Structure 1
Amino acid sequence: MISKAKMQSYKEQFDDQGFVIIKGLYEFNEIDEIRDSFKSIDFSKKGGPNADIFSSYPRVMEPHKNNTVAFKYMVHSRVNTILKSLFLEEALACHSMFYYKPPGALGQALHQDNFYLKMEPDPCIGVWVALDDSDAENGALVVVPTSHRTQIQCPHLSDPNLSFTKEEVDVPEGMEIVTVELRTGDAIFFSGNIIHGSYPNRSNERFRRAFITHYASISTEKAGDVYASMYTMSGEEVKIENNSKADPCGNEYD
């Protein structure tokens, strides 16, 4: 059980920096359960017998919809306890992803999640769980501390040699990029407004698997598109208003 003093320190760091790292959120047996639940996915037909490694290990979007283990950890009580401390109210779960990030995989250009999730009036919170030790060599997450205090940016085209996504935002003047090194089972909780991303996996044989989920506060009034279909942390489905307002700069580049 996390003490009141510890929870308060998490809240203070989150509000100040835009993120907080939780060491050992999950035990190794829990990490194994998450990993194992994705081993049974057959991607062999996705790219055919001559497919490259990126076709063999794609990003898995919304696994909670058909993977009971993914759903279990998306609404896990430990995550819920921390989210309630950060939101200062109950949380709603709205999104999940699983990244394999094998050796040689590209990174993800700097971005802000709430540009896409369009939560109002407050931004979402993302939870990024390390399923492998994560560092600069194998393409760890990077963040720009305090950038959650800035406005949502209009992105520009990213470098296709470094990123699998096409949009990128700039680091605000006076701020800098910090690499988030995590051990297996650690997690980072971060504001939907913070600038973050990753660089390519430059290791020879190390994967950088991660389980990522997103949440809204229960007082959220609107969310973009598919994110408007949510779940309480007890697993009940709820829907809120779809935020049809156009993105500040349009959608992702074609």
Structure 2
Amino acid sequence: MSMNATIDRPTQPALTPAQRELFKVDGFLIMRGLASAERLNAMRTTAVEHASAHVAPIEYEADVAYPGAPASRDAEGGDTPRRLLQAYDRDPLFADWAADARLSAIVAQLLDSDDVWLSRNHHNCVMTKSPRYSTATAWHKDLRYWSFETPRLVNAWLALGDETPANGCMRVLPGTHRMPFDAEQMDADQFLREDRDDNARLIESAIDAQLAPGDVLFFDAGLLHAAGANTTDERKLSMVTTYYGSDNAPVPGTRSARLEPVPIRETRHA
């Protein structure tokens, strides 16, 4: 298993064979400075406005019922937003980023597909991690509740501000997208059981995906990842989007097919 190195911002959005192999082996790749300061400021301002005004649709910390979350929306901190849902349809700023040419070019290379679609049913949100009532997220794979023909999906996590262990940055377990897991290794909600010795040894390989504003963490939807609570005094904001290529499609009649996907890159045939 290789140690994943971060990749400096390229002059052109073309990955080297080594970078593509790194993603294939480790299941994640960090690209630095993909979003400009001007774009980030505008996105942050809009995200804070929507969170403060509770612009629907929103998922609240109380809704997920993770350990330490407010018991209900009526409890203290129960009105703390966790995710601003439907980012693509929420504001043109978010839609423009989701369809950004440089972003989609990188995704296309990671998926090895000329055609790329954005899922509006999974992720497609602005993550808000507040100081007082944010909760940690245990180790899991995003594919646990998704229904696609193949597991080949890529997530793009844009840092709208600094992401560190102190404010609950993403943690990843390199190579776990390629590993089989027994049902006994997971709990009823498909989170990795940390009370098992084999899982505990695996967690020792965890890497903190520390990001600066404008950095993007690309990761395989089958990669085990987790995140801590925000112990700072400032809200952490990130935007995350999910993509798939021409070898894949959501299964009809499932949650993954509820909303139509958005074609981000399509090959034009004569």
Q: TM-score when scaled to structure 2?
A: 0.74
Question: Could you tell me which of 20, 23, 35 is aligned with 1:11?
Answer: 20
Equivalent-residue separation in structure 2 for 1:54 and 1:63 (angstroms)? 22
Q: Is the 8 A contact 2:13 2:105 kept in 1?
A: no
Tell me the residue number matched to 2:70.
Answer: none
Q: How many residues align?
A: 224
User: Which residue identity does 1:68 align to in structure 2?
Assistant: P
Distance 1:139 1:52, change over 3 A: same
Pairwise CA distance, 1:209: 1.0
1:67-146, aligned counterparts within 5 Å? 67-89=91-113, 90-95=115-120, 96-104=124-132, 105-146=134-175
Pairwise CA distance, 1:153: 6.1
Tell me the residue number matched to 2:12.
Answer: 2
Equivalent-residue separation in structure 1 for 2:182 and 2:94 (angstroms)? 31
Distance 1:13 1:125, change over 3 A: same
Q: Is the 8 A contact 1:119 1:216 kept in 2?
A: no
Instruction: Give the 3-state SS of the residue equivalent to 2:171 in structure 1.
Output: strand
Distance 1:140 1:223, change over 3 A: farther
Pairwise CA distance, 1:24: 0.7
Tell me the residue number matched to 1:194.
Answer: 223
Deviates more, 1:174-183 or 1:76-85: 174-183
Which digits, 9 at most, give the CA deviation of each residue in 1:65-118, with x for residues without a partner? 232221111111111110111111121100301111011311211110112222
Pairwise CA distance, 1:167: 4.9
Which digits, 9 at most, give the CA deviation of each residue in 1:187-244, with x for residues without a partner? 11000110001011122x1222110111111221334734322111059xxxxxxxxx
Equivalent-residue separation in structure 2 for 1:227 and 1:57 (angstroms)? 23
Pairwise CA distance, 1:57: 2.8
Tell me the residue number matched to 2:242.
Answer: 214
1:165-184, aligned counterparts within 5 Å? 167-170=190-193, 175=202, 176-184=205-213
Distance 1:54 1:145, change over 3 A: farther
Provide structure 1 residue ranges, at least 5 long, that are not aligned to the other structure. Answer: 158-165, 236-254
Q: TM-score when scaled to structure 1?
A: 0.78
Question: Could you tell me which of 34, 38, 44 is aligned with 1:35?
Answer: 44
Q: Is the 8 A contact 1:108 1:198 kept in 2?
A: yes
Tell me the residue number matched to 2:6.
Answer: none
Tell me the residue number matched to 1:60.
Answer: 84
Equivalent-residue separation in structure 1 for 2:107 and 2:179 (angstroms)? 22
Matched, 1:23 2:32: yes
Equivalent-residue separation in structure 2 for 1:64 and 1:152 (angstroms)? 33
Tell me the residue number matched to 2:65.
Answer: none
Which digits, 9 at most, give the CA deviation of each residue in 1:10-38, with x for residues without a partner? 31110010000001111111111211222
Provide structure 2 residue ranges, at least 5 long, that are not aligned to the other structure. Answer: 1-10, 61-73
Instruction: Give the 3-state SS of the residue equivalent to 1:55 in structure 2.
Output: coil
Tell me the residue number matched to 2:8.
Answer: none
1:235-254, aligned counterparts within 5 Å? none
Instruction: Give the 3-state SS of the residue equivalent to 2:236 in structure 1.
Output: coil
Equivalent-residue separation in structure 2 for 1:22 and 1:223 (angstroms)? 31
Deviates more, 1:111-120 or 1:92-101: 111-120
